[in-house]
Amino acid sequence: MTMTPEALTEALPLPAQSVYQNRIADYWNAEENPVNLELGRIDDLYHHHYGVGDADRSVLDEPDPELRKERITTELHRLEHAQAELLASRLGPLTPSDRVFDAGCGRGGGSVTANLRYGCHADGVTISAKQAAFANEQARKRGIGDKVRYHHRNMLDTGLETGAYAASWNNESSMYVELDLLFAEHARVLRRGGRYVVITGCYNDTYGQASREVSLINAHYICDIHPRSRYFRAMADNRLVPVHVEDLTATAIPYWELRRQADHLVTGIEDTFLTAYKNGSFQYLMIVADRV
């Protein structure tokens, strides 16, 4: 019997959410942003995050307007997939029998990336029913629906099995929730010695309070960017011990410089990100931690 994408999301009662979380769910259920969809259509890997690495700026020199759009879109997707691969590389070593948890999975690209790298089982969680159904359909089309599943649930209260996961992560989704509640759930589902990775934008405490640019980013994405120090305090309080910290800010700038010139994809927030990164008030950080 063929299961519909809706059935694959395991239609359990969604745990109680705040009014704010309901607003976020409404936003993502309605979202059809080309910067997410056009990039994903290239290889059916749909990411909801930004890119890292040196950009091939020669794509901007393409004289044919339509081919220029295509080449820029492809290059932006290459950069965002490089970010997903960077995160996935920090989850291992994993085996095909291991289970991983993708918190705030969006349209599912991160879970697929982990499965392709390790052959592992993956459970993605999103508060958007539309995203969960879309991601399950993509996994079905790839023939990995038996190992990669997406659930319409709250990442703060997933209902996933305690201590069953070898690795878990948040990829640009931690700014939508309270960190103590988030890390408590990761610590619960991870086995002892399990690996947690977060890649996130955070504001730089040494700068002072959140800058004007950070406030504009919050308003644009309806999020609440946390200070850098808050991540480490919340991890310490929830049995997550950092083993690697990497400032990705400099490697994120080429993505934004290229995207700023992609007229078919710009959202109006590009210059704000670049200003915040360059004035030091905002950082793009990866933290790798072990569950003790």
Q: Residue-wise pLDDT tens for the chain (292 aa)?
A: 333 334 344 444 555 578 888 888 898 888 888 888 888 888 989 998 999 999 999 999 999 999 999 999 999 999 999 999 999 999 989 999 999 999 999 999 999 999 999 999 999 999 999 999 999 999 999 999 999 999 999 999 999 999 999 999 999 999 999 999 999 999 999 999 999 999 999 999 999 999 999 999 999 999 999 999 999 999 999 999 999 999 999 999 999 999 999 999 999 999 999 999 999 999 999 999 999 9
Domain contains 60: yes
Output the pLDDT for position 6.
Answer: 40
270-283 per-residue burial string, b: 16 or more CB within 10 A, e: under 16: bebbbbbbeeebbb
Give, in order, the Cα–Cα distances in Å from 7 to each of 72, 133, 143.
Answer: 37, 8, 17
Structural domain count, the chain: 1
Q: What are phi and psi of 268, to 5 degrees?
A: 95, -5
Range of 57's domain?
19-153+162-291
Domain contains 191: yes
Domain contains 13: no
Domain contains 57: yes
Domain contains 5: no
Domain contains 222: yes
Helix (H) or strand (E) segment spanning residue 87 = helix 65-89
Output the pLDDT for position 32.
Answer: 86
Domain contains 9: no
Tokens of 133: 């159904």
Domain contains 6: no
Whole-structure pTM value: 0.92
